[in-house]
Structure 1
Amino acid sequence: MGPIWEVVGGLQRGGLLVRIGKDTSSDPSADRLQTGALVRQLEKDGDRLCYELLLGQGPPSGWISCVSQGKPLLAARSDLWEVVGGGEKGGLLVRRGRDLTSEALDERLATGSWVKELEPPKDGRLHFARLTGSGPEEGYVSLQVAGKELLKKAASHQAAMPAAPLSAPSAPTSRKLRIFALAGSITCKELLKFQCGQLAALLGKDAVEWTYAEGTVFHPWELSEQLSDFERTVAGKRQQLISWYEDIYHCKQDRPILEKQFDPTVVVESVEIPEKVALLRKRLEEEGPFDVLLGFSQGCIMIHYLVGHLRREGLPVPCKLLVFFEGMHIRDQRFAELFETPVKHPSIHIFGETSPYYAYAREGRCTTKRVEEYYENPLVLTHAEGHNFPTQPPRSTEIYTIVKEQILQLRAAGATSPA
Structure 2
Amino acid sequence: MADLRVLCLHGQQASAEILEWQLGPLASKFEHHLGMTFHQVDGLIEADPDPCFEGIFEPPFFDWVQWRSPDDSRVNSTSSDASLATVRAAFELLDHVVEEQGPFDGILGFSQGASVACAYLAHLDRRDGSCSPFRFAIFFSSGGLSADHLLLLHRLSGMTDKEQQKTPALEGLLSMPALHVHGNADKLKDDALAMVRLWQPGSAVVASHQGGHVIPRDVASIGRIVSAAKLMMQSVVS
Post-superposition Cα deviations, 1:295-332, rounded to whole Å, max 9, x if no partner, equal: 11111111122111112123322111111111132232
Find 2:182's aligned residue among 351, 368, 371.
Answer: 351
* Deviation (angstroms), 1:355: 0.8
Q: Taking CA–CA contacts closer than 8 Å with sequence separation of 6 or more, which of the two structures ends up with the larger relative contact order?
A: 2
Task: Answer 1 or 2: which has greater helix percent.
Answer: 2
* Deviation (angstroms), 1:175: 4.7
Are the aligned partners of 2:122 and 2:173 in contact in 1 as well (CA < 8 Å)?
A: no
Are the aligned partners of 1:292 and 1:407 in contact in 2 as well (CA < 8 Å)?
A: no
Give ranges in structure 1 of 5+ residues lacking alignment: 1-173, 261-265, 363-369, 415-419
Are the aligned partners of 1:321 and 1:346 in contact in 2 as well (CA < 8 Å)?
A: yes
Bigger-Rg structure (1/2): 1
> Are residues 341 and 243 of structure 1, via their aligned partners in 2, closer, same or farther at CA, if it must alter by over 3 Å?
same
* Deviation (angstroms), 1:282: 1.7
CA RMSD for the aligned pairs? 2.9
Give the corresponding residue for 2:161: none
Are the aligned partners of 2:6 and 2:107 in contact in 1 as well (CA < 8 Å)?
A: yes
Are the aligned partners of 2:104 and 2:133 in contact in 1 as well (CA < 8 Å)?
A: yes
TM-score for the superposition, normalised by structure 1:
0.46
Post-superposition Cα deviations, 1:37-77, rounded to whole Å, max 9, x if no partner, equal: xxxxxxxxxxxxxxxxxxxxxxxxxxxxxxxxxxxxxxxxx
Give the corresponding residue for 1:326: 141
Task: Answer 1 or 2: which has greater strand percent.
Answer: 1
Q: Which moved more, 1:314-323 or 1:203-212?
A: 203-212
TM-score for the superposition, normalised by structure 2:
0.78
Are the aligned partners of 2:179 and 2:232 in contact in 1 as well (CA < 8 Å)?
A: no
> Are residues 343 and 405 of structure 1, via their aligned partners in 2, closer, same or farther at CA, if it must alter by over 3 Å?
closer
Find 1:211's aligned residue among 23, 36, 39.
Answer: 39
Give the corresponding residue for 2:52: 227
Whole-Å separation in 1 of the counterparts to 2:68 and 2:142: 20
Whole-Å separation in 2 of the counterparts to 1:304 and 1:203: 21
Q: Which moved more, 1:318-327 or 1:207-216?
A: 207-216
**Is the counterpart of residue 186 in structure 1 residue 36 in structure 2?**
no
Amino acid corresponding to residue 302 of structure 1 in structure 2: V
**Is the counterpart of residue 196 in structure 1 residue 23 in structure 2?**
yes
Post-superposition Cα deviations, 1:57-99, rounded to whole Å, max 9, x if no partner, equal: xxxxxxxxxxxxxxxxxxxxxxxxxxxxxxxxxxxxxxxxxxx
Q: Percent identity?
A: 21
Aligned residue-pair number: 214
Post-superposition Cα deviations, 1:1-52, rounded to whole Å, max 9, x if no partner, equal: xxxxxxxxxxxxxxxxxxxxxxxxxxxxxxxxxxxxxxxxxxxxxxxxxxxx
Whole-Å separation in 2 of the counterparts to 1:249 and 1:398: 33
Give the corresponding residue for 2:78: 268
Within a 5 Å distance, the mapping from 1:84-123 to structure 2 comes to none
> Are residues 190 and 359 of structure 1, via their aligned partners in 2, closer, same or farther at CA, if it must alter by over 3 Å?
same
Give ranges in structure 2 of 5+ residues lacking alignment: 155-166
* Deviation (angstroms), 1:247: 2.6
